[in-house]
């Protein structure tokens, strides 16, 4: 089978790209191992809501049209939103097709699937940034009898065996799960390394309103100080709810035990860094710098916002626990909320570095002409991490792609003449 | 805050940032091994010599061998020829954090005038004496207090100190578990 462009993944990014290619009149096919939005339907916990408000979930040619622009979609609603979008734009989706390899041809790429082989001039990797949970090697030290589970496979508190829970990681996922588990009556410890403290609202506006309005989300990948690091910063400690704080300070107040970064699990004992005080201090200082930036922008633009606020420094125990005896202290589950990385295990193009990371320049892969990536953290701008990034990113990459296809055609014509 | 170009804390930030980018492309060169040798003198007194280390794919010699000594003080019924090794650990922490403060200040365009630190480690010696099996051998708590005079706001100085902890090897070594193997040659 042949097509001009093959898009792998029918999530928000792959569908946005499909829409752009249709606009450009480029023949293409979108492959997905499930239905559009599959991961949102099958790989998320039950209570999950988006971090971004509904008004920021628009896709190219498909703005949010519901009656709750300031609300937050649950994961099933996101899946429905994507399925509806796929129908609305008439995306040529082949559902239930799993890609098993992408390999270079002399011109273009060969994409092998469990339903046949495709050849395409260009391939767009839109399979998402959260294919594989980044569970650290010390998970191997978790003693038998204690469940070791990644956030990707967590669904609800009832799923876990009896006993306490050690949540490792304090990104949005980690703090949300710690909060949910504590509310269900579990004794919860959360282990945190570097994290991003953020209030849900500031000066009467949602924090994502600020991020959007003050231009934070539009900072480009090549303007960020250290892009490799920036792409690995954990997601902000937020939950899609107007009235629930899930920062470290709020969790501590609710009786959740806060401990430092997990160092190792040794003879059944989890050992934590003694650097917690500095970790929370760094997050407090970083939050203040963000708010100062918002304040400066608001003053400059005379924005309609409430009075300036500052948040109290985060309080944790003076001498936080350095050890947790998983068996002796009846911890039933270690829940890894330690981030994800994209799955490129089937990519047979030599573009991965020694850590398996794909080097790209804003989605363009310099070492593999005609291969593009879309929908990963900070791909072209901060907004790329969220659904609202797909509109810009797909527009710009589609233009690059169309130019690339045009260049190939003229090269072919030259060869023929 | 002063301009980066006019700030001189004696740290070559450009070289450090350049090294970071270069080593990302050649991560094997970033693998260093530090080394000290040690010899017993008498009693609890010993002498450590630090001469060479490996990294960037080769062995490097210090400009000259550096010598440290360790001993125990009189309350430990020793002769106090040198600091106790636990004090040397505190000194190493101060040295590492201070280097970090200078490097981060240079990178952020902050001119330092003076950087002083006091490091204290609380230690229940019943642990090392074997007097109480529930007491650990190491520090129960370590406190570092910085006193910094610089052309910067209090917030910027706080951020400087926080960042130096975040990138400190000795801070990490003290706050995190490390596998240590001791063998007999």
Which tens digits make up the pLDDT trace of A14-25?
A: 999 999 999 999
Chain B residues within an 8 Å CB radius of A228: 24
Categorize the per-residue pLDDT at A337 as very low, low, confident or very high, splitting at 50, 70 and 90. very high
Q: Are residues B49 and B115 in the same domain?
A: no
Percentage of chain A beyond pLDDT 70 is 98
Do B144 and B129 belong to one domain? yes
Q: Which two tokens stand for residue A63?
A: 């703005």
Distance of CA A268 to the CA centre of its chain: 31
A407 or B74: whose pLDDT is higher? B74
Once rounded to an integer, what is the mean pLDDT over residues A386-412?
A: 89
Confidence of residue B169 (pLDDT cuts 50, 70, 90): very high
Residue A274 has its nearest CB partner, among B158, B166, B175, at: B175
Residue B47 contacts by C-beta under 8 Å, 6 or more apart in sequence? B38, B39, B41, B67, B68, B69, B70
Note whether A282 contacts B27, CB cutoff 8 Å.
no
Distance between CA atoms of A38 and A95, rounded to whole angstroms?
10
Count of C-beta atoms within a 10 Å radius of residue B44: 19
Determine the pLDDT at residue A415: 60
Where is the domain boundary, B62, B83, B104? Answer: B83
For residue A115, which of A130, A93, A83 has the smallest C-alpha distance? A93
Nearest CA in chain A to B175: A274
Residue A413 pLDDT level (bands cut at 50, 70, 90): low
Q: What token pair was written down for B7?
A: 């700030």
The torsion angles phi and psi of A19, rounded to 5 degrees, stand at: -60, -45
Q: Tell me which residue in A228, A263, A275 faces B24 most closely, judged by beta carbons.
A: A228
Taking residues A129-153, what's their average pLDDT?
93
B2 pLDDT higher than 60: no
Residues A126 and A169 placed together within one structural domain of the fold: no
Q: Cα(B4)–Cα(B106) distance, rounded to whole angstroms?
A: 7
The B residues from 161 to 180 touching A (CB cutoff 8 Å) are 162-163, 165-166, 171-172, 174-177
Q: What is the DSSP letter of A358?
A: B
By residue range, what is the domain housing residue A50? Answer: 2-131+342-416
- Answer whether residue B123 is part of any domain: yes
Residue A409 pLDDT class (50, 70, 90 cuts): low
- Residues of chain B in contact with residue A278, where contact means CB-CB under 8 angstroms, are 162, 165-166, 171
- CB-CB under 8 Å, A266 with B176: no
What is the CATH number for B148?
Answer: 3.30.300.20
The 10s digit of each residue's pLDDT in B48-62 is 999 999 999 999 999
* CA within 13 Å, CB half, A285: 18
Cα(B44)–Cα(A7) distance, integer angstroms: 70
Q: What are phi and psi of A230, to 5 degrees?
A: -60, -35
Residue carrying the six token digits 């994961």: A75
**Would you say A387 and A52 are in contact if contact means Cβ atoms under 8 Å apart?**
yes
Per-residue pLDDT, A130: 82
Domain boundary among B83, B108, B140: B83
Cα nearest neighbour of B165 on chain A: A278
What whole-number distance in Å separates Cα of residue B79 and Cα of residue B158? 40
Residues A18 and A150 in one domain: no
pLDDT, position B66: 98
Residues of B in Cβ contact (< 8 Å) with A137: none
Query: How high is the ipTM of this complex?
Result: 0.83
pLDDT one-digit tens code per residue, A197-208: 999 999 999 999
Asked if the model's pLDDT at residue B3 lies above 70, the reply is no
Please check whether residues B122 and B158 belong to one and the same domain. yes
Q: What is chain A's mean pLDDT, rounded?
A: 94
Residues A326 and A356 in one domain: no
Cβ–Cβ gap A274/B176 under 8 Å: yes
pLDDT at residue A153 above 60? yes
Chain B nearest-CA residue for A288: B155
Please tell me the total count of domains within chain A.
2
Nearest to A50 by CA among A35, A31, A26, A69: A69
Task: State pLDDT tens for residues A26-73.
Answer: 999 999 999 988 889 888 999 999 999 999 999 999 999 899 999 999
**Tens digits of per-residue pLDDT, A117-138?**
999 999 999 998 888 999 999 8
CA distance A92 to A114: 18
Residue B89 shares a structural domain with residue B153: yes
What mean pLDDT do residues B105-120 have? Answer: 96
């Amino acid at each position: 089978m042949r097509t001009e462009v093959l898009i792998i993944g029918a999530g928000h990014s792959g569908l946005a790209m499909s829409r752009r290619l249709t606009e450009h009149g480029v023949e293409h096919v979108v492959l997905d191992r499930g239905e559009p939005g599959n991961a949102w339907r099958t790989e998320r916990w039950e209570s999950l809501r988006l971090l971004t408000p509904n008004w920021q979930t628009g896709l190219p040619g498909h703005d949010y049209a519901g009656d709750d622009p300031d609300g937050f979609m649950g994961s099933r609603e996101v899946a429905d939103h994507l399925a509806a979008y796929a129908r609305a734009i008439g995306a040529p989706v082949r559902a239930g097709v799993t890609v098993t390899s992408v390999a270079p041809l002399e011109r273009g790429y060969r994409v092998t699937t469990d339903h046949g082989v495709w050849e395409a001039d260009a391939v767009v990797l839109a399979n998402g940034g959260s294919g594989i949970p980044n569970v650290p090697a010390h998970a191997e030290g978790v003693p038998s009898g204690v469940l070791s589970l990644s956030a990707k496979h967590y669904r609800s508190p009832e799923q876990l065996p009896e006993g306490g829970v050690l949540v490792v990681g304090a990104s949005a996922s980690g703090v949300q799960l710690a909060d949910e588990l504590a509310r269900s009556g579990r004794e919860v410890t959360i282990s945190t390394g570097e994290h991003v403290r953020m209030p849900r609202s500031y000066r009467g506006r949602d924090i994502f309103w600020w991020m959007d309005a003050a231009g934070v989300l539009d900072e480009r990948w090549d303007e960020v100080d250290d892009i490799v690091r920036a792409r690995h910063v954990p997601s902000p400690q937020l939950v899609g709810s107007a009235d629930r704080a899930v920062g470290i300070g709020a969790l501590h107040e609710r009786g959740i035990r806060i401990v430092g970064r997990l160092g190792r699990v040794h003879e059944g004992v989890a050992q934590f860094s003694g650097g917690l005080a500095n970790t929370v201090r760094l997050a407090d200082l970083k939050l203040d710098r963000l708010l100062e930036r918002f304040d400066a922008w608001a003053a400059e633009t005379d924005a309609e916002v409430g009075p300036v606020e500052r948040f109290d420094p985060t309080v944790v125990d003076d001498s936080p626990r350095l050890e947790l005896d998983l068996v002796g202290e009846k911890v039933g589950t270690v829940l890894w909320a330690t981030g994800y990385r994209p799955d490129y295990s089937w990519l047979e193009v030599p573009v991965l570095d020694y850590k398996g990371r794909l080097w790209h320049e804003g989605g363009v892969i310099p070492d593999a002409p005609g291969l593009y990536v879309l929908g990963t953290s900070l791909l072209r701008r901060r907004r790329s991490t969220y659904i609202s990034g797909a509109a810009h990113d797909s527009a710009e990459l589609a233009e690059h792609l169309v130019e690339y296809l045009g260049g190939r055609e003229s090269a072919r014509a030259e060869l023929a003449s | 805050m002063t301009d980066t170009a006019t700030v001189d804390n004696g740290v070559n930030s450009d070289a450090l940032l350049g090294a970071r980018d270069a080593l990302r492309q050649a991560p094997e060169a970033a693998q260093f091994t530090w080394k000290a040798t040690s010899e017993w003198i008498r009693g609890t007194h010993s002498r450590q010599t630090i001469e060479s280390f490996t990294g960037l794919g080769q062995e490097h010699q210090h400009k000259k061998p550096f010598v440290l000594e360790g001993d125990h003080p009189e309350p430990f019924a020793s002769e106090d020829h040198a600091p106790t090794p636990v004090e040397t650990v505190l000194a190493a922490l101060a040295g590492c954090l201070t280097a970090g403060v200078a490097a981060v200040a240079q990178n952020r365009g902050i001119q330092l005038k003076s950087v002083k630190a006091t490091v204290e480690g609380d230690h229940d010696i019943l642990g090392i004496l074997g007097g109480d099996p529930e007491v650990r051998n190491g520090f129960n708590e370590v406190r570092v207090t910085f006193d910094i005079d610089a052309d910067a706001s209090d917030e910027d100085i706080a951020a400087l100190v926080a960042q130096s902890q975040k990138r400190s090897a000795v801070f990490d070594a003290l706050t995190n578990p490390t596998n240590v193997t001791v063998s007999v040659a």
